[in-house]
Structure 1
Amino acid sequence: MESHVRRLSVVVAVQNVLVVASLLVTVCVYWRAEEQQRVSGDNVHIQFDPISRLQGNRTLQFDRTRSKHMMSLVDEQNQRILVNCTGPYVLYVDVCYQNLNLGNSTGFLQLLVEGSNTPVSSFTLQASREVCRGLHCIVFLRAKERASLHLLADEGFQIKNATVGLNYLLGTETQCYF
Structure 2
Amino acid sequence: MSAAREIFVDTGLHAPLSAVAKKAGVGQGSLYRHFPDRVSLAVAVFDENIEELEALEERPESSLDDLLSLIIEQALVSKALIDLITADIDDPRVAHLGTRVQAVVDTLVARDRAAGLLAPHVTGADVMLAVSMLAGVLGWTPAERRPEVARRAWALFHSAFSGPSAAPTTPGAAATS
Higher strand share: 1
What's the TM-score once normalised by structure 2's chain length? 0.30
Q: TM-score, normalised by structure 1?
A: 0.30
More helix by share: 2
